[in-house]
Amino acid sequence: MSTRMPNQENPPLAGLETATLAGGCFWCTEAIFKRIKGVHRVVSGYTGGDVENPSYQQVSTGRTGHAEAVQITFDPRIISYDSLLDVFWATHDPTTLDRQGADVGPQYRSVVFYHSDDQRRAAEASKRNLEASGKLKAKIVTSIEPFKKFYPAEDYHQDYYASNAHASYCSIVIEPKIRKLLRNFGDEVKEEYQ
Separation in Å, CA 44 to CA 78, 178, 183:
22, 17, 24
- Quick one: DSSP state of residue 108? G
d(CA 56, CA 6): 14
Q: Which region holds residue 17: left if phi is over 0, alpha if psi is between -120 and 50, else beta?
A: beta
Query: Is 25 considered catalytic here?
Result: yes
Alpha helices in the chain (DSSP H): 26-33, 56-60, 81-90, 117-133, 160-163, 168-169, 175-185
Q: Which region holds residue 15: left if phi is over 0, alpha if psi is between -120 and 50, else beta?
A: left
Among the listed residues 19, 21, 25, 67, the single catalytic one is 25
* Catalytic residue list: 25
